[in-house]
Structure 1
Amino acid sequence: MDSLYAIHKKDRLHVLDILRGFSLLGILLVNMKSFHEPALYESSFVSSTTSLDRLIEQFINLFAQASFYPLFSFLFGAGSVIFYERAKEKGHSFGRYYSKRLIGLFIIGILHATLIWHGDILINYAIIGFIFMIFLKWSAERLMKWALWILILPNVLMSLALLIAYMGEPGSLDPGKYGSQEAIQQSLEVYQTGNFIEITQQRLTDWAYVNNAENAIFLILSILPLFMLGAAAYKRGWFHQSMIKEWKRTAIITGAAAAVFKAMPYYWDESILTQHLQLSLGGPALTLCYVSLALLFLYKFKFRLEPIRAAGRGSLSNYLLQSIICTFIFYSYGLGFYGEISEWTGFILVLFIYGIQVFLSHLWFKRNAFGPVEWLLRKWIYFSHRA
C-alpha cells in the first residue's frame, strides 16, 4: 500500500482554501462582539445605542451571523470526502485515520475552550464528525436529500410551535425576557479584573451555557446537515467549472430565501420566532448563496487571491490565533479592554487582525507546506516526518 500523507499544495483544490480564507473573516466579524463584551447573555443581536454602532451590528447580523460557521461546516464536509477518497485510493483504513483526526480536533478544542476562549467550535465538530462518518459513504443525491430534511423539517416544526405561542401571547417571545443582567455583570467583572484561574472558570461557565444536554440536539441539527451538504457538493463535482449553471440557480434560490429569513426581525417584530428563523434557515441559506457566488466569481474572473488562499490553507491555525490575539487584547491578563470598546472599534480591529493574518499566512506558505497547528495535527494522524 502507498503511504497516506496529508495533501500537499500541488494536490489541493484551491477554491476550498479560498473559501476557508473568506470564512475566517466572517467568523471573526461574528465573534468579535463576544470577544469584547458578554454578548452570549444579551437577548438581541443589535443592542448599541449610537447610530454607527447599530449600523455595524445590523450589517454583521444580516451578512455574517449564522452564515460563516455553517460555511466552515460545509467545507469540513467536503474536506472529509477528500480525506476518504485518498484513504481508499491508497488502500488504507479511512476509519482509523479519520477517527484520529477527530480525536486530535477534540483535544485541540478542549485546550481552546478551557485555556483561551469559550466560543470553541472544534469540540462539536469532532463529536458530530463521528456521527457524520455513518453518512460519508452515501451517494451525493442521498446526502443532499437527507441533509435538507434534517436542516429544514425540525426548524419548520419548531417555528410553527413558536408561531402558535406568538399568536397566543406575542409578549411571551420577547427576547428581552431571556437576557441575563446578572450573567452579563459577572462576565464583565471576571474578564475585566479576574486572574487567569477565575477567567478559566468563567470560560467553562460560558462554554457550558451553550454546550449542554438541552442544546445538544440543536447543535447536531445545525452542524450535521452542513457537513452532509458539503460532502454532497464535492461528490457532485460542485467545485468545478462545469457546474456554472447550477451555481447560478443555487445563488438565486438561496439568495431569495436568505433575503426573506435573514431580514425577518427587521420587517416583523424581533422575537424568539424571528430570531430562530433568521439563524436556523436564513443563515445556512446565505451560506450556500455565498458559496455559489464565490465560485461564480472565482471561475468567471479567474481570481487567484493567493494571500486569502494561504490564510485558508492555515485555517485551523488562524482560527485559534484569532482567539489568542483577541483574548489578549480584551482580558485582564492581557491589555484589559473588555467592555471598553465600541462596535465600530471592534469592526476596525477585525479588518486589521484579518489583514495581518492574510499577510503573515502568505509569507508563511512561501516556505512551509502546512500551518503550525495543521502540522501538529498531521503528525498525530500519520506519525510521519513527511506529514
Structure 2
Amino acid sequence: MQVFQPVAQKERILSLDVIRGFSLLGIFIINMISFHSPFLYIDQYSWWKAPGDQALFPWIDILVQSSFYPLFAMLFGYGLALQYERSMEKGADFFPLAVRRLFVLLLIGCVHAFLIWSGDILTNYALFGFILLVFMKLKGRALLWIGALLFLIPQLFFSILMVLMSLVDQTGVAFYSDLTNITSSIEAYGNGSFKEIFLQRVEDWYNVNGPGNIIFLMLSILPMMMIGAGAGKLHILERIHREKKVWITLLLIFSGVGLALKSLPFTVEANVAYSYIQDMLGAPFLSVSYAILLALLLINRKISAVLKPLAAAGRMSLTNYLTQSIIGTLIFYNYGLGLYGGVTLATGTWLAAGIFFIQVILSEIWLSKFRQGPMERLWRTLTYRRVRNKQAGE
C-alpha cells in the first residue's frame, strides 16, 4: 500500500502559502510583545505610557491581537484536508502517517514551549489536530457547518454571560495588572539564570494552557481547524476567482462584523467582558476576512507578483515561527542581550517587522537552493523515515 507524501512544489497553492506567510507577520507582532514585556499579566489598556505606544496599541489590538492564530489554525486544517484528499486519490494510508506527523509536531512544540518560549502554539495545534482526524472523513460542507456551530454557539453563550456579569458587577470584570507575576517575570527573564527562566517559562505556559483554560483553547482552535478543513475539501481558495462578487460581499460582511466586535473595548468599555468578545468572537471573523482579501488580491497578476515573496515565508512557516522565538528570546532574555522590559511597544513592533522582512528574503534565498526549510525537512524526516524503512524491508 502507498503512503501519502509531502506536497510537491507543482501541487502547492500560492494563496495558501501567501496567507500563511502573512499570518506569520501578524503572529510575530503579537509574540514580540510577550518577548519583551510581561504581556500575560498587564492591563494592556493602561500599561503603555509613551504617546507613540498609546497611539499604536489600538491598531494592534483591533487589527492584529488574536486575529492571526485562528487564521493559522484554519490554514492548518486546510492543509490537512488537502493531504487527506491526495492520499485518498492515491489509495494511500493517511491516518497512521497523519498521527505520526502530529506526534512529531507535538514533540517539536514541547521543546519550543519549555526550552524556548512559553507562548508556543504547536502543542495545541498537534493535540487538537488529533481530534480533527476523527472528523476528517466528513464532507467539506459538514465540516464547515460543524466547525461554525462549534465556534458560534459556545462563544455567543460565554459572550452574553460575560456582558451580563459586567452589568451586575463591573468590578468583577475590570482589568488589573498582576504586580506579583509582573515582578517575577521581569526578574526571571531580565535578570535570572537559565534555570530561573525555565521555571518562569513553565509557569507562564501553565497559566495559559492549564486545566482552567484548556476547554476555552479547544473551543477557539478546533472549530477553526474544522472550518479550514471543510474549506480545503471544497477547494475554496482554488475556486474563489470564479465567484468574485460573492466573496467580495462576504469580505464586507466578515470584515464589518469583525472590526465592530474587535473595537468594543474602545467604543463601549475596556473590561474583561468586551475583551473576551473582541478576541474570542470578533477575531475569527476578522481572520476569515483577511484570508478572503488576500485570495481576492492574488487574482490580480501584478498584486500577486508583489505578494509572492510572502509565499516563501509561508512555505517555511515552521522554521520561521521557531526562528522568531529564538531571536526574540535571545534579544530580551538574560541569557542573551537581557533587554526584557526595556523597549517600547513601538520599538518592538518595528523590530518584528524588520526581522520578518529579513526572514522573507532569507526564505526566498533558501528555497532557491533547497525544496524545504530546515525544520520542515526535520519534520518530514522524522515522520516518513520509519515508513520508508519498512518499505525497504528493514
TM-score, normalization by structure 2: 0.94
Alignment of 1:67-82 (within 5 A): 67-82=67-82
Contact 1:16 1:75 in 2 (8 A): yes
- What's the counterpart of residue 353 of structure 2? 351
Return the alpha-carbon distance in structure 2 between the equivalents of residues 45 and 378 of structure 1: 42
1:324 aligns with 2:326: yes
Alignment of 1:162-311 (within 5 A): 162-176=162-176, 179-240=177-238, 241-302=241-302, 303-304=304-305, 305-311=307-313
Contact persistence 2:99–2:130 (CA under 8 A):
yes
Aligned residue for 1:209, secondary structure, equals helix
In the alignment, is residue 337 of structure 1 matched against residue 339 of structure 2?
yes
- Rounded to whole Å, the distance in 1 between the matches of 2:46 and 2:125 is 28
Q: Give the whole-Å Cα distance in 2 for the aligned partners of 1:16 and 1:184.
A: 38
Percent identity between the aligned chains?
A: 39
- Structure 1 residues 45 and 35, CA, compared in 2 at 3 Å: closer, same or farther? farther
Residue 127 of structure 1 aligns to a residue whose secondary structure is helix
Note if 1:151 corresponds to 2:144: no
Q: Structure 1 CA distance, aligned partners of 2:337 and 2:363? A: 25
Conserved 8 A contact 1:250-1:288: no
The amino acid across from 1:107 in the alignment is L
| Alignment correspondent of 1:377 | 379
Residue 164 of structure 1, CA deviation: 1.8
Count matched residues.
Answer: 383
Structure 1: which 5+ residue stretches go unaligned? none
Counterpart of 1:205, as a letter, is E
Gaps of 5+ in 2: 390-394
User: How far apart, in 2, do the equivalents of 1:367 and 1:191 lie?
Assistant: 37
Cα deviations by residue, 1:94-137 (Å, 9 ceiling, x for unpaired):
11000011101100000001110000000001110111111122
SS at match of 2:244: helix
Asked if 1:101 is matched to 2:101, the reply is yes
Q: Is the 8 A contact 2:82 2:233 kept in 1?
A: no
What RMSD, in angstroms, separates the aligned Cα atoms of the two structures?
Answer: 1.4
- Which string of whole-angstrom CA distances, capped at 9 and with x for unpartnered residues, describes residues 37-57 of structure 1? 110111335621122111222
Matched to 2:261, the amino acid is F
Q: Which residue of 1 aligns with 2:10?
A: 10
Q: Is 1:40–2:40 an aligned residue pair?
A: yes
Q: Contact 1:239 / 1:295 at 8 angstroms: preserved in 2?
A: yes
Offset of residue 247 of structure 1: 1.9
Equivalent residue for 1:134? 134
| Cα 1:371/1:129, change in 2 over 3 Å | same
Give the TM-score taking structure 1 as reference length. Answer: 0.96
1:45–1:8 Cα change, 3 Å: farther
The 3-state SS of whatever aligns with 2:255 is helix
TM-superposed CA distance for 1:342, in Å, is 0.7
Q: Please say if residues 254 and 289 of structure 1, whose CA atoms lie closer than 8 Å, have aligned partners that are also in contact.
A: yes
Between stretches 248-257 and 278-287, larger displacement belongs to 248-257
Please state whether the residue corresponding to 1:6 is helix, strand or coil: coil
How far apart are 1:89 and its partner, in Å? 2.1
Query: In 2, distance between residues paired with 1:92 and 1:238?
Result: 24
Q: How many Å apart are 1:3 and its aligned residue? A: 5.3
Equivalent residues of 1:46, 1:57 under 8 A apart: no
Distance 1:25 1:311 in 2: 10
Deviation at 1:236, TM superposition (A): 2.0
